[in-house]
C-alpha cells in the first residue's frame, strides 16, 4: 500500500489521478489533497477519500473547510507554503504534482529532497529549474505524467541510453494548426480553449494552441532524459494516437500509442514498474483509418522556435520564458492582448533578460519575478 498526495487535486490531472486511485484502492491510499481555491470540490474529495492532510492556498477558503470538518481529524494547511508543507509528512510515498505553473517548483524540490517519488505533470518546474531538480533526483525518482514524456519513458525501455539516437515528440497542433496565419491575431479565448483531442486546464489549453506547450515539453524532455537539444524532434500528429517515439541507433523507432486519455500515463507513473488493468477506450486503428504527420511550422507558431532557443541556452532562459508565458496567457484570457501577442511578448522578455548561465535556485526565482514584472510593463 502506497500513500499518495495529490497537489492540484481539483484540476484536470488531479481529478483524473483520483479516478485512478479510486480504481486501485488496494494499492494506493490518498493521504493528502490540495487546491488553490475550489474548496467545495476539495471538500467533496475529502469526504470521499478521507485524507489525513489537505492544503489550500487561499486562507479564506481554508477557514470554510475548517468549519465544515471541525469534528474531524483532518489537518488543514493553508497559505503560500502549504504545497511544500504537505509533501514533508513522513507517511507520504508518492507526490503527484498536478498544479499549474511556477508554484509547483518548491514542492517538487521538497519531494525530491525527501526521497519520495514524484509523479510529475507540472512541467513548469522542470522548465524553470531542470538542472537543479534533476541533479537532486535519483534514477526513476521522477516519473513523467505528461503523455509525451510517459511515451518516451516507456519507449526508452527498449534500449540503453547510449543507443538512443533521438526522440520524436508528437504534437496535436492545437485548434489553429490549419487556420490562416493572417487571421490568428483575431482569435478569441473561447476558440483557443477548444482543444481538438484533449480536455485540459485553461493554461495548458492555450499553450497547446500557441504551441508553447510543445516548447515547454522540449525543455522538459531535455532534462528528464538527459538529451542534447539536437536529439529532440517535434512532429505534428493531429490524431494524438502516437504519444511520442524514440529512435535507436539501429534505426528502430519505438512508439507508445493509445486513445488520448491522461489516466494511462498517470496510472503508469503510479504503478511503475508494474502495470495494472485500466478501463479505457480500446485503440481501434481500422476505425481511425489513417494517422498523419506534418513538419511543424515555426514561422506560424514561433513559440516552438523559442522553446528550442531556451533549451539550447539553458540557465535562466527557461524560468524567464515560463514566467512571461504564464502572465501573457492570463492577459490573453482576460482580453488584454491578442493571441499572437502571447508569443511576441514572451520573445521580447526572454531576449531582454539578464542571462545567467549556471543559476542557483535564488537566481531562478529572481528571473521568474523579473519576467513577470517586465511583461506586465509591456501590457500597460
Ligand atoms: P488545471 O488548471 O485543470 O488544474 C490546476 C490545479 O492546480 C488546480 O487543482 C488548482 O487548484 C491548482 N493550483 C493552481 N494554482 C495554485 C496555487 N497557486 N497554489 C496551489 N494550487 C494551485 O490544470 P491541469 O490541466 O490539470 O494541468 C496541471 C499541470 O499538468 C500543468 O503543469 C500542465 O501543464 C500539466 N499537464 C496537464 C495535462 C492535462 O491533460 N490537463 C497534460 C499534461 C500535462
Ligand atoms: Mg503533453
Q: How many CB atoms lie within 10 A of CB 166?
A: 16
Look at residues 102, 104, 80 and name the one whose alpha carbon lies nearest to residue 7: 104
> 165 and 245 in contact (C-beta within 8 Å)?
no
pLDDT of residue 199: 85
100 lines ligand 1 (CB under 6 A): yes
pLDDT of residue 72: 83
Residue 183 DSSP symbol: G
User: In the beta sheet, which residues pair with residue 255?
Assistant: 245
User: In the beta sheet, which residues pair with residue 248?
Assistant: 164
Closest residue CA from atom 41 of ligand 1: 200
99 lines ligand 1 (CB under 6 A): yes
Q: Which three cell numbers stand for residue 49?
A: 477519500
> 106 and 128 in contact (C-beta within 8 Å)?
no
* SS3 call for 130: helix
pLDDT of residue 188: 96
pLDDT of residue 149: 98
Residue 152: φ, ψ to 5°: -65, -45
Closest residue CA from atom 40 of ligand 1: 200
Question: Mean per-residue pLDDT for 279-290?
Answer: 97
> 293 and 235 in contact (C-beta within 8 Å)?
yes
Nearest-atom number in ligand 1 for the CA of 202 is 2
Instruction: Scan for cell 500528429, then name that residue.
Output: 237
Ordered by where they begin, the domains of the chain are 2-144 (3.40.50.720), 150-176+204-297 (no CATH)
Q: In this predicted model, what pLDDT tens digit does every residue of 320-334 receive, in sequence order?
A: 999 999 999 999 999
Q: Is the pLDDT of residue 380 over 90?
A: no
Residue 253 DSSP symbol: E
Question: Mean per-residue pLDDT for 132-153?
Answer: 98
pLDDT of residue 370: 98
Q: In this predicted model, what pLDDT tens digit does every residue of 73-127 receive, in sequence order?
A: 899 999 989 999 999 999 999 999 999 999 999 999 999 999 999 999 999 999 9
Ligand 1 pocket test: pick from 5, 9, 98 the residue with the most ligand atoms within 8 Å of its Cβ: 98
| Cis peptide bond N-terminal to 208, omega within 30 | no
Nearest-atom number in ligand 1 for the CA of 124 is 32
What is 48-78 written as a DSSP string? HH--SEEEES-HHHHHHHHHHTTTS--EEEE
Angstrom CA distances, 279 to 100, 261, 263, 357, stand at: 27, 11, 9, 46
* SS3 call for 171: strand
Nearest-atom number in ligand 1 for the CA of 99 is 7
Q: Is the pLDDT of residue 196 over 90?
A: no
Q: CA–CA separation, 214 vs 204, rounded Å?
A: 10
Amino acid at each position: 500500500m502506497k500513500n499518495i498526495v495529490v497537489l492540484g487535486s481539483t484540476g484536470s490531472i488531479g481529478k483524473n489521478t483520483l479516478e485512478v486511485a479510486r480504481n486501485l484502492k488496494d494499492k494506493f491510499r490518498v493521504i493528502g489533497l490540495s487546491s488553490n481555491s475550489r474548496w467545495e470540490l476539495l471538500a467533496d474529495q475529502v469526504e470521499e477519500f478521507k485524507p489525513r492532510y489537505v492544503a489550500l492556498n487561499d486562507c479564506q477558503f481554508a477557514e470554510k473547510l475548517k468549519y465544515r470538518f471541525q469534528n474531524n481529524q483532518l489537518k488543514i494547511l493553508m497559505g503560500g507554503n502549504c504545497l511544500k508543507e504537505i509533501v514533508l509528512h513522513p507517511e507520504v510515498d508518492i507526490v503527484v504534482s498536478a498544479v499549474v505553473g511556477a508554484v509547483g517548483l518548491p514542492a517538487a524540490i521538497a519531494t525530491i529532497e525527501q526521497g519520495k517519488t514524484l509523479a510529475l505533470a507540472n512541467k513548469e518546474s522542470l522548465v524553470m529549474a531542470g538542472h537543479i531538480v534533476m541533479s537532486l533526483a535519483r534514477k526513476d525518482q521522477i516519473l513523467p505524467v505528461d503523455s509525451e514524456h510517459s511515451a518516451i519513458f516507456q519507449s526508452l525501455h527498449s534500449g540503453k541510453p547510449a543507443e538512443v539516437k533521438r526522440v520524436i515528440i508528437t504534437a496535436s497542433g492545437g485548434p489553429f494548426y490549419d487556420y490562416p496565419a493572417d487571421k490568428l491575431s483575431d482569435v478569441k479565448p473561447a476558440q483557443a480553449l477548444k482543444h481538438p483531442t484533449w480536455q485540459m486546464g485553461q493554461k495548458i489549453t492555450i499553450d497547446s494552441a500557441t504551441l508553447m506547450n510543445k516548447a515547454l515539453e522540449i525543455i522538459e524532455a531535455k532534462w528528464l532524459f538527459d538529451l542534447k537539444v539536437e536529439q529532440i524532434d517535434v512532429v505534428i500528429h493531429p490524431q494524438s494516437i502516437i504519444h511520442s517515439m524514440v529512435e535507436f541507433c539501429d534505426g528502430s523507432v519505438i512508439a507508445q500509442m493509445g486513445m488520448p486519455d491522461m489516466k494511462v500515463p498517470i496510472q503508469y507513473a503510479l504503478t511503475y514498474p508494474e502495470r495494472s488493468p485500466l478501463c479505457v477506450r480500446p485503440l481501434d486503428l481500422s476505425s481511425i483509418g489513417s494517422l498523419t504527420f506534418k513538419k511543424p511550422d515555426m514561422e506560424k507558431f514561433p513559440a516552438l522556435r523559442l522553446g528550442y532557443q531556451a533549451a539550447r541556452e539553458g540557465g535562466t532562459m527557461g524560468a524567464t520564458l515560463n514566467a512571461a508565458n504564464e502572465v501573457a496567457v492570463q492577459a490573453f484570457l482576460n482580453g488584454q492582448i491578442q493571441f499572437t501577442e502571447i508569443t511576441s511578448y514572451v520573445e521580447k522578455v526572454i531576449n531582454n533578460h539578464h542571462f545567467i548561465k549556471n543559476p542557483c535556485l535564488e537566481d531562478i526565482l529572481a528571473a521568474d519575478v523579473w519576467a513577470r514584472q517586465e511583461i506586465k510593463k509591456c501590457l500597460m
